[in-house]
Amino acid sequence: MSDTLIKTVTSKGTNKVEILKNVEVLLVETNILSKSNSMMQDIEYREQKGSIEVYPNVLLPHIKASYVKEAKIVLVKNSEATMNWDDKKVELIILLLIPEKTDEEVQSEIRNFMKHLANEEYIQKLMKRE
């Protein structure tokens, strides 16, 4: 899997709103997202459709939208404090960002990553990744 597809981010936020705002600002600054103030709403909408927890204390919110300029798997951590997502403590947030138009090679890499998430050891490695 391409290391350019995965980006690790350390958030100083400790709750869902702070974390998503911090990450969104960074993603706009690095030209991965074209605008701000949409990501949080889209994640909230996705959560209403079903659980985003893929492993204990690991969440996988995902967005497919026109404002996503570059496909990216963003590993969000906070090594200094516990992250809280609503009423749940979280160790890792795997934010999957997909543009509306994505080439087949990138789609294949994303599918491969998603298959790996079925492996507990793989998730634990992601949790330790710097």
DSSP E strands, 1-130:
6-10, 53-55, 58-59, 62-65, 72-77, 83-85, 88-90, 92-99
Q: Does the pLDDT at position 3 exceed 80?
A: no
Strand partners for 53: 59
Q: Give CA–CA dist 67/38, Å, rounded.
A: 8
Q: Give CA–CA dist 9/26, Å, rounded.
A: 9
In the prediction, which pLDDT does 24 show?
93
Q: Does the pLDDT at position 89 exceed 70?
A: yes
The two beta strands, 83-85 and 72-77, are unpaired
In the prediction, which pLDDT does 26 show?
93
Q: Does the pLDDT at position 129 exceed 90?
A: no
Mean pLDDT for 15-36 is 92
CA 5 centroid distance within chain: 12
Which residue ranges make up each domain of the chain? 6-128
Distances (CA, A) of 130 to 11, 35, 54, 55: 13, 27, 20, 19
In the prediction, which pLDDT does 2 show?
60
Q: Chain-wide mean pLDDT for the chain?
A: 91
Query: What are the b/e assignments for 32-63, b being 16+ CB within 10 Å?
Result: bbeeeebbbebbeeeeeeeebeebebbbbbbb
In the prediction, which pLDDT does 79 show?
77
Tell me the per-residue pLDDT of 38-58, one tens digit each, with 9 for 90 and over: 898 999 998 999 999 999 999
Confidence of residue 1 (pLDDT cuts 50, 70, 90): low
Structure tokens at 75: 């590993």
Q: pTM for this one? A: 0.92
Distances (CA, A) of 3 to 33, 41, 73: 19, 28, 10
CATH of 6-128, one of 3.40.640.10, 1.10.10.10, 3.40.930.10, 1.10.1040.10: 3.40.930.10
The percentage of the chain sitting over the pLDDT mark of 90, rounded to a whole number, equals 78
